Amino acid sequence: MLIAGSLLAIWAYKAFYRWLHTPVNVNRIKLGKGGAIGDNDENVSLLERSGYVVSSGKHVIPIPIELDDTPLGSGSRIYIDYIAEKEDCTYVVKTARDRLPMDWTASGVRDRLLVYSLLLPDCTGVLFIDAKEGIIRKITFQLGD
């Protein structure tokens, strides 16, 4: 009984400590397992040749949207193509699309990729990969005060 009471007290202390030290406005997204990774996926092959380990496939994050307190359709979704890891760093992976080319200016990169860093603050950055060109670009954002 003493051991069970001690474990319960330790659990309650840790939960209170975590609650006390978490900022109020932080709603962290917790990703599930993600989609299956294809065996012949050229994007995964490119990442693995560059030393990354692909830990999960496609994630779909639903985003309900309200306009003047009325739901706006069925909302929207954000898609994450892969989650990759290298040297204890985790990256969100986005792949190049032919119909939506990337604008490699500061504002273009911000508009397309900053949302992923804000959505998953525990990730080190975003990897933008183009399997046709064989290019992996690592993007990190530093938010100033």
Does 5 reside within a domain?
Answer: no
Amino acid at position 33, single letter: K
Q: What is the mean pLDDT of residues 85-103?
A: 90
Per-residue pLDDT tens digits for 17-59: 887 776 554 455 556 566 777 778 888 889 899 999 888 888 8
What whole-number distance in Å separates Cα of residue 140 and Cα of residue 117?
8
Instruction: Judge whether residue 6 has pLDDT over 90.
Output: yes
Does 3 reside within a domain?
Answer: no
- Mean residue pLDDT of the chain comes to 85
CA-nearest of 90, 139, 83, 78 to 110 is 139
Instruction: Write down the pLDDT at residue 23.
Output: 58
Strands (E), the chain: 53-56, 59-63, 66-67, 70-71, 76-80, 82-86, 89-95, 125-130, 135-139
Instruction: Write down the pLDDT at residue 106.
Output: 93
Instruction: Judge whether residue 66 has pLDDT over 60.
Output: yes
Does 81 reside within a domain?
Answer: yes
CA-nearest of 95, 106, 102, 99 to 140 is 106
Does 58 reside within a domain?
Answer: yes
How many domains does the chain contain in total? 1
The C-alpha angle with vertex 121 and arms to 38 and 29, in degrees rounded to 5, equals: 65
Does 109 reside within a domain?
Answer: yes
Query: What is the residue range of 33's domain?
Result: 28-139
Does 43 reside within a domain?
Answer: yes
User: Residue 89 sits in a domain of what CATH number?
Assistant: 3.40.1350
Does 64 reside within a domain?
Answer: yes
